[in-house]
Amino acid sequence: MTFHLLVLPGDGIGPEVIAQARRVLDWFATRRGLAIEIEDGLIGGASHDRHGSFLTEQTKARAQAADAVLIGAEGGPKWARIRAGSGPESRSGLIRLRRELDVYANLRPIRCFDALAGDSPLKAEVIRGVDFTIVRELTGGVYFGEPRGIEELPDGTRRAVDTQVYTTPEIERIARVAFELARGRAGRLHSVEKANVMKTGVLWRQEVERLHRAEYSDVALENVLADNCAMQLIRNPRQFDVIVTDNLFGDLLSDGAAMIAGSLGMLPSASLGAPLGAPGAEDRRKAIYEPVHGSAPDIAGRGLANPLGAILSVAMMLRHSLNREAEAALLEGAVEAALGNGLRTADIAPAGAPPGAPTVGTQTMGDGVLAALEAATQ
């Protein structure tokens, strides 16, 4: 069957990194028989400039009909004033699309490639061999809770309100994803919240523990407060296998953990909806794939961006949406090989490298991954 993919390059460096991901997809189509049909669209500022909306109804419909969506990046200072508003249109197109597709399970793998272990800001002996996944709840919590907004007070000052809300079904379904993932890995799950100060944290802990007792007692569960987790990620990241947490903490912790991988530009992600057979599931599992980094307007259009987060997002697509584990592993191996051959974009240049030390651009890094794919299949 043909796999239908909607590609939304977005803003800033998004089109540049997605162009390299497209080259990888074309290679798999040509060399590995991947039957894929690609449709292009707009999201974020690019969509607002053209249509006056960060996410149009047409794009939502096309995303609903696609087997998966691949996104580059979204946003930038050009649209900051619009985003500062309080109406529905002020929400980013990406956040709204996540909610529209109900892709509630965000998987963010944190892996230290051997070739980068000595180049991270962290000590090699601390991060070498690190390989864990953060499972972030993506469609609830403070990013979607109501009421929200900014209001004028009678004394002339202003008040801003954001609401953190979680329900039993929201917590249970994301915890189930994390338990299943941990069961297929090393069998360890850390559940992260702030039960000491937040009622949503209390409920989160209670519901995760209840599900653990009922269905997943074979998985070792440990509850961790979010601030302690942040410290432990730097002190001893190898203790983690799977981390499950809410929308806000998942956002913060995964960006911090990016330094283990060397740079935010290295991180891919998969945002998945209900699996087949689950209550409310459709005939296929909804999915959005995207690098974790932002639009980086300061380097946009200069050919400097690291495309590996986008390329590794293709690997996640091969694994989670296409059930092509061998191809996913092949692509991850090609990224490892390209790094092992010394290719470095500026964001992953060796720690302490002098200014002007040799680095490569977006296109050359893509060339290196494709060359490694070719070499691995000779």
Phi, psi of 290 (to 5 degrees): -165, 145
Which pLDDT score is estimated for 82? 82
* Alpha helices for the chain (secondary structure H): 14-31, 45-51, 57-65, 80-83, 93-101, 124-127, 168-183, 199-215, 226-235, 247-261, 308-320, 325-340, 362-376
Looking at residues 170-177, what average pLDDT do you find? 97
Position 351 scores a pLDDT of 63
Across the chain, which distance is largest between two alpha carbons, in Å? Answer: 73
Closest to 315 in 3D by CA, of 304, 324, 305: 324
Q: Map tokens 């007792």 to a residue.
A: 213
DSSP state of 362: H
Query: What pLDDT score was predicted for residue 277?
Result: 64
3-state secondary structure of 226: helix
Residue 102 is predicted with a pLDDT of: 94
Q: Which residues are known to be catalytic? A: 143, 194, 227, 251, 255
Per-residue pLDDT of 344-374, as tens digits, reads: 999 998 766 656 668 999 999 999 999 999 9
CATH architecture of 1-113+266-378: 3-Layer(aba) Sandwich (3.40)
30, 94, 271, 274, 348 from 282: Cα distances, Å: 30, 21, 16, 8, 40
In which residue ranges of the chain is CATH 3.40.718.10 found? 1-113+266-378, 122-261
Task: Name the band, by pLDDT with cuts 50, 70 and 90, for residue 85.
Answer: low
Q: From CA 38, how far away is CA 69, in angstroms rounded?
A: 10
pLDDT at 224 over 60: yes
Task: Return the pLDDT at 350.
Answer: 77
Q: Which amino acid is at 360?
A: V
Architecture of the domain made up of 122-261: 3-Layer(aba) Sandwich (3.40)
Helix 226-235 vs helix 247-261: angle between axes, to the nearest 10 degrees? 10
Q: Is 321 in contact with 287 (CB distance < 8 Å)?
A: yes
pLDDT class for 121, splitting at 50, 70, 90? confident
Query: Would you state the structure tokens that stand for residue 41, as one six-digit string?
Result: 């669209």
Q: Are 261 and 347 in contact (CB under 8 A)?
A: no
Q: CA-CA distance, 143 to 66, in Å (whole number)? A: 25
Question: Nearest-CA neighbor of 375 among 344, 330, 321?
Answer: 330
Q: What is the pLDDT of residues 44-55, one digit of tens each?
A: 999 999 999 999
